[in-house]
Amino acid sequence: MADILVTTRTIRPGTVIVASDLGVLPGDRADSFSYAADVVGQEARVALYPNRPIHFDHVGPPALVERNQIVSLRYVGAKLAISTEGRSLDRGGVGDRVRIMNLSSRATIFGYVQPDGTIKVSR
C-alpha cells in the first residue's frame, strides 16, 4: 500500500502548486502521484479539489507562452535557419505543442515551446 497525493484546498487551473497545498492519504492508484516533489512547482491544468487524487495529466510545467502573446519562431534545417515573429494561439509550457499564427503570412503553424520561451518549428 502506497500513499496518494491530494490537495488540501481547491486549486484553480493555471495556479503553480506549492508544498503547503499538498497532503497524503493512504491508498494506491496507478494513475496518480505519490510524492510531493513530483508536483511542487508544476501548474494545475484543471481544477484540483481537496482530498482528491492528483492524476498525472492534471498538472504540467508552468506556462511560458500565453495566448495572444507575440513570440519568436525559429526553424533550423540542414543548411537553413529562419527566424520571425508570430502570435501564439494557445498557452503552453516547456515542450508543449502550440498553434502559432505567422505574422508575415497569416498562416497557422505548430511548434514546440523551448525553455527560453521561443517556439521551435519543424517540418
* Confidence at residue 78, expressed as pLDDT on a 0 to 100 scale: 86
For residue 114, count other CB atoms closer than 10 A to its CB.
Answer: 16
Same domain, 9 and 48: yes
- The pLDDT tens digits of the residues spanning 77-103 come to 889 999 999 999 999 988 999 999 999
* Confidence at residue 55, expressed as pLDDT on a 0 to 100 scale: 94
1 confidence band (pLDDT: 50, 70, 90)? low
Q: Read off the amino acid at residue 48.
A: L
Same domain, 20 and 40: yes
The domain total for the chain is 2
For the chain, percent of residues with pLDDT exceeding 90 = 77
- Residue 16 near residue 42 (C-beta atoms within 8 A): yes
- The pLDDT tens digits of the residues spanning 105-118 come to 999 999 999 999 99
Average pLDDT over all residues of the chain:
92
Q: Which 8-state DSSP code applies to residue 58?
A: G
Last residue of a domain, one of 60, 85, 104: 60
Q: Which residue has the cell 479539489?
A: 49
Q: 34: domain range? A: 3-60
CATH code (residue 79): 2.30.30.760
* Averaged pLDDT, 5-26: 94
